[in-house]
Amino acid sequence: MRLSFLTKAPLAALLLLSQNIMAQQPVSNGVEMADKLRADGKIWVVVAVVAAVFTGIIIYLVSLDRQIGKLEKEVKEKKKDYSL
């Protein structure tokens, strides 16, 4: 999809304007919630939960891939049987 000049110009102006607006926002020294969790030592609980979730997702995807591989082999074998 190719954008015309009439579409590009307003987009460029919006980008430049939003950049100026965002640059004027005050910058905080950190995330207050993360600092509190780090101070209490609970950040490791958050890290452990996130790691457990990702591990579960990876295990699920690997098992799903194996099941799909088995089904693909069965389909190929059935196609081969029907073609004979």
Residue 24 in domain: no
Distance CA 37, CA 39 (A): 5
Q: Is 25 left (phi over 0), alpha (psi -120 to 50) or beta?
A: beta
* Residues of the domain holding 78: 31-84
Residue 16 lies in a domain: no
12, part of any domain:
no
pLDDT digits (tens, 9 = 90+) for 4-58: 666 667 777 766 766 666 655 555 666 787 788 788 888 889 899 999 999 999 9
Residue 21 within any structural domain of the chain = no
- Number of domains comprising the chain: 1
Q: Is residue 48 part of a domain?
A: yes
DSSP code at position 24: T
Residue 7 located in a structural domain = no
- Residue 34 and residue 43 in contact, taking contact as beta carbons nearer than 8 Å: yes
Confidence label for 72 from pLDDT (cuts 50, 70 and 90) = very high
Give the helix ranges, DSSP H, for 1-84: 5-23, 32-40, 43-83
